[in-house]
Amino acid sequence: MRLVVVGNGMAGSRLVSEVRARDPHMRITVLGAETCQPYNRVLLSNVLAGSSRPDQVRLLDASWYDAHNVNAAFGSPVAHVDRETRHVVTEDGRREPYDLLVLATGSQAIVPPLPGVERAIPFRTLDDCERIMQAANQARRAVVVGGGLLGIEAARGLAGRGLPVTLLHLAGHLMERQLDVEAGEVLGETLAGLGVEIRTGVSADSVQADGVRLAGGELVEADLVVLACGVRPVTGLAAEAGLEVRRGVVVDDELRTDDPSIFAIGECAEHDGTVYGLVAPAWEQAAVAADVITGGKALYRGSRLVTRLKARSVELAAMGETQLTEEHAEVVRFSHRARGTYRKLVIRDGRLVGAILLGESDAVGTLTQLFDRGGPVPGDRAGLLFPGLASAPVADSPVLMPDAAKVCQCNNVTKGQIRACWEAGARDVAGVAAATRATTGCGTCRDAVEGIVGWLCEQEGISV
C-alpha cells in the first residue's frame, strides 16, 4: 500500500503521524509546498508577538521522518494528479505513484483586490510572519485589515511589540461570525486598553505608501499594513483532476472524495456543506482518515466549533450559536464592561448550544466540555456562569458552627466534643489536644480550635 499525502501543514502532518502510529509499515510519501518542516499555525500569533521563536513552533523534527520511515519532500508543490495512472506529478516533474492519496492542501489568504495591495503583507504562513516581524522592526505605525480571529491576534501581537496599531474591520463589530454585538464591543474595549485602536464599519479603498485610504477618503497612517481578510480553500489541484469541488473538495463521512482512492482533509475539504477553518476539526478529520486508510471503520460526523482567541491578556472563548435571541432559545447573560467581562449562555432543549466568555473565567473549561459533549445543562444556570457561587459558605465562626461540625478532620473531632472537653475543664488548645487529639494530625485546625476555646471562655467571662 502506497500512501501519498499532498500538503504538509497541520492537517497533512497530523495525518502522517496518525497513520504511522497505526501502521508501522505502510509506505508513506508526503509532499509539502512550504520549504520548512511542518509547524503549528495556531502558534504563529505567539511568534508575531515575539513570545515564541520560529523554531519553537515546529510540529515534527526533521529527524522524525527518517526515524519513522516516511518519505518527505519539502518545497515540492504538486502540479497535477493523474487519476488514470494513479500518480501525482510535482512542479519539478517528479512522478509519485499512489494507491491512496490524501489532499491536505489547506487554504490561502484572501488578498482583496485593492490598489496598492502588494504593499501589504498577508498573515498566513511562517514566511509571512517573518516578513511582518522584519517590517515591524522598522515600522512606526501599523494597520491590520480584518477584525476576525487572526486579525485580532496579529494586532494584539504587534501592539505587544510596542507598535501603535489600528485594526480596520468592515462589519459593525469584531469577530461578527462568533460574537454578538455587545461581546464584540467589549472585546474592542479590551483591545483598546492594550494599545489597539479599533475602527469598525470601515472599508479600505487602497493601500498607499503612507497608510490605508478608507472608502470615505480618510487616510489611516501606517508604514506596515497586515492583511487578515480570511482564507480560501486551495482546491485547484482537485478541480483540475475532476473531483467534485464546491467551496471545498467534497468528502463523505470517511473523508473520501468522489474518487474512493482520494481523500481530502483540513481546510481544503468540505464535509456536509461545511468547510472548517480551525485546527481541531482538521485534526479530528486526520484521525478519522488515518483510521479508514489503515482499515478501520471510523466515521466523521462534523465538529463542534470552539473559537479561542490567543492574544496576551485577552481571554475569549466563543462556541456554537452565540447570536440566538430569547425568541429562539434560553439566553443567560452577564455583562460588566468596566472589567471587560461578558458571559453568555445559549440553551435550547436543555442543552448548551452556544456560549461566549470574555474575560478570565473559571467557567470556560466546564462550559466548553458541556458544549462538546452535548450533555444536559444543570438547573442552576448561575452556578455555571459563576463557579464557586453555589458553594455553601463555611461556618467558621465558632458561634455559628453547629455542634456536629467536624473541626479536626484528622482525628474526627467535632465542635460539640471540644465544647464537652472545655466543660470538663480544658481551657487551652493543649488541653483540648490532650483530651481529643484535635490539632495533632495535619495541624491546620489549630486556629479553629483556638477560636472555639476562646469563644467558650469569653461566654463564661473567663479571661485567657
User: What span, in angstroms and rounded, lies between the C-alpha atoms of 262 and 102?
Assistant: 6
Output the smallest distance, CB 409 to other proteins, in A: 6
Nearer to other proteins, 253 or 315 (CB): 315
Output the smallest distance, CB 318 to other proteins, in A: 12
Size of the chain in residues: 464
Q: Is residue 183 within 8 Å of 318, Cβ to Cβ?
A: yes
Output the smallest distance, CB 379 to other proteins, in A: 6
Nearer to other proteins, 434 or 462 (CB): 434
Where does 213-296 have alpha helices with state H?
Answer: 236-240, 279-293
Nearer to other proteins, 37 or 166 (CB): 37
Nearer to other proteins, 35 or 51 (CB): 51
Nearer to other proteins, 209 or 394 (CB): 394
Output the smallest distance, CB 269 to other proteins, in A: 20
Tell me the C-alpha to C-alpha distance, in Å, between residue 274 and each of 152, 201, 268, 301.
Answer: 24, 27, 11, 11
Output the smallest distance, CB 10 to other proteins, in A: 9
Output the smallest distance, CB 35 to other proteins, in A: 18
Beta strands in 182-305 (DSSP E): 196-200, 204-208, 211-214, 219-221, 224-227, 231-233, 249-251, 262-264, 269-271
Nearer to other proteins, 47 or 229 (CB): 47
Nearer to other proteins, 14 or 256 (CB): 14
CA atoms within 13 A on the CB side of 404: 0
Is the alpha carbon torsion for 139, 144, 145, 151 positive or negative? positive
User: What span, in angstroms and rounded, lies between the C-alpha atoms of 248 and 266?
Assistant: 10
Nearer to other proteins, 164 or 296 (CB): 296
Output the smallest distance, CB 340 to other proteins, in A: 13
Which of 464, 463, 407, 401 is CA-nearest to residue 436? Answer: 407
User: Kindly report the CA angle at 179 between 214 and 321, in degrees rounded to 5?
Assistant: 140
Q: Is residue 234 within 8 Å of 108, Cβ to Cβ?
A: yes
Nearer to other proteins, 113 or 388 (CB): 388
Nearer to other proteins, 10 or 249 (CB): 10
Output the smallest distance, CB 365 to other proteins, in A: 3
User: What span, in angstroms and rounded, lies between the C-alpha atoms of 107 and 121?
Assistant: 16
Output the smallest distance, CB 280 to other proteins, in A: 7
Q: Is residue 348 within 8 Å of 326, Cβ to Cβ?
A: no
Where does 225-315 have alpha helices with state H?
Answer: 236-240, 279-293
User: What span, in angstroms and rounded, lies between the C-alpha atoms of 351 and 71?
Assistant: 46
Output the smallest distance, CB 282 to other proteins, in A: 12
**Residues binding other proteins (CB under 8 A):** 39-40, 42-43, 46, 51-52, 56-61, 279-280, 306, 308, 310, 315, 360-362, 364-366, 368-369, 372-373, 375-376, 378-380, 383, 390-392, 409-412, 437, 440-444
Q: Cβ–Cβ contacts within 10 Å for residue 395, how many?
A: 12
Supply φ then ψ for residue 358, to 5 degrees.
-120, 130
Nearer to other proteins, 238 or 279 (CB): 279
Radius of gyration of the chain (CA): 30
Q: Is residue 7 within 8 Å of 108, Cβ to Cβ?
A: no
Output the smallest distance, CB 322 to other proteins, in A: 17
Which of 215, 198, 228, 211 is CA-nearest to residue 141? Answer: 211
